[in-house]
């Protein structure tokens, strides 16, 4: 028994040492950005806790934007181990408000050894367009720094329903479905109980195209400024904060055809489809044209 306990303690110590090393590495990478002069924001990417290189893009943006309050909201975070705001919280000491539909995930976050160190509020709620404003009002944030929407489902409809007049975020990160392409402004139809892997076995029928999200963001006073190099997250900045370094871009200049292969077969197993096969897998599924509100075939 003592041997087992010793091994368990060793694993725990190793985990926290690894996390400390990650944070130290991230801090070095973040500070290094001050000495770099890349023309493409993607070149500032690095990954600490984000799924892809979003940590680096966020660090670059907060260095080059006049952000009033160091606060963030992120929802669809699962257990928060892999997220776009965790490094922002732990490296830059931002205050946060996070939401996930799983009570187990939220309890897991609250039991983390580091939870007491930061100003982080967690909420377990399944997000819909009907409850989004009430939920985010609980944060108490005004003129906040960053908002990240990533619920792998009806993101467009939730974003459309979201009242930004009080939150007024400087930066918005929206997940887009690269499989939907760059030319059409489309989204999955609204379903308040939408769960991605239940809607279509392929796991590819969700969310909205980059064009649809960009047109909606434009209406709300935000400009598309970049996508990460993986082709799943797009970055928007409030129009009054744009600078000579951070400028509005067109969808055709920002869209990235994703290469990650998350599609699944009818038995729920990864099938590692290339992009063309992923497109074929959801051909004929119903989508809404967000320009004319008509139901169309993908």
Q: What confidence score (pLDDT) does residue 15 get?
A: 45
Number of folded domains that form the chain: 1
Give 188's contacts (C-beta < 8 A, 6+ positions apart).
Answer: 153, 154, 156, 194, 199, 205, 206, 207, 208, 285, 286, 287, 288
Over residues 9-34, the mean pLDDT reads 76
Question: Using 50, 70 and 90 to split pLDDT, how confident is the model at 17?
Answer: low
Count the alpha carbons within 13 Å of 40 in the hemisphere toward its beta carbon.
Answer: 8
Residue-range definition of the domain harbouring residue 96: 2-297
- Is the pLDDT score of 18 beyond 90? no
Q: What does the pLDDT look like over 86-103, one tens digit per residue?
A: 999 999 999 999 999 999
Q: What's the mean pLDDT when you consider all of the chain?
A: 94
Q: What confidence score (pLDDT) does residue 251 get?
A: 98
- Is the pLDDT score of 10 beyond 90? no
- Percentage of the chain modeled with pLDDT above 90: 93
> Would you say the pTM of this structure is higher than 0.85?
yes
Q: What does the pLDDT look like over 121-164, one tens digit per residue?
A: 999 999 999 999 999 999 999 999 999 999 999 999 999 999 99
Find the CATH number of the domain harbouring 88: 3.40.50.150
Over residues 27-37, the mean pLDDT reads 96
Q: What confidence score (pLDDT) does residue 242 get?
A: 98
- Percentage of the chain modeled with pLDDT above 70: 94
- Comparison of pLDDT for 76 and 61, the residue scoring more: 61
Residue for token digits 């918005």? 172
């Amino acid at each position: 028994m003592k041997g087992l306990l010793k091994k368990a303690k060793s694993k725990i110590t190793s985990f926290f040492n690894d996390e400390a090393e990650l944070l130290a590495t991230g801090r070095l990478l973040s500070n290094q950005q001050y000495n770099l002069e890349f023309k493409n924001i993607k070149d500032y990417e690095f990954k600490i806790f984000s799924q892809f290189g979003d940590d680096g893009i966020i660090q670059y943006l907060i260095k080059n934007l006049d952000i009033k309050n160091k606060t963030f909201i992120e929802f669809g975070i699962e257990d928060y181990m892999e997220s776009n705001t965790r490094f922002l919280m732990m490296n830059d000491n931002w205050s946060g408000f996070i939401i996930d539909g799983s009570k187990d995930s939220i309890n897991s976050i609250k039991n983390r050894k580091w939870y007491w160190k930061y100003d982080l509020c967690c909420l377990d709620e399944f997000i819909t367009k009907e409850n989004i404003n009430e939920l985010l009002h609980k944060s108490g944030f005004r003129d906040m720094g960053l908002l990240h929407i990533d619920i792998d489902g009806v993101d467009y409809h939730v974003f459309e329903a979201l009242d930004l007049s009080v939150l007024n975020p400087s930066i918005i990160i929206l997940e887009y479905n690269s499989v939907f392409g760059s030319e059409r402004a489309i989204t999955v139809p609204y379903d308040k109980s939408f769960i991605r892997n239940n809607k279509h076995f392929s796991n590819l029928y969700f969310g909205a195209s980059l064009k649809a999200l960009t047109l909606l963001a434009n209406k709300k006073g935000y400009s598309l400024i970049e996508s990460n190099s993986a082709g799943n997250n797009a970055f928007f900045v409030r129009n009054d904060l744009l600078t000579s370094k951070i400028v509005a871009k067109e969808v055709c200049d920002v869209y990235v055809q994703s290469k990650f292969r998350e599609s699944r077969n009818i038995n729920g197993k990864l099938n590692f489809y290339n992009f063309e096969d992923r497109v074929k897998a959801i051909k004929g599924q119903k989508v809404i044209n967000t320009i004319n509100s008509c139901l169309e075939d993908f």
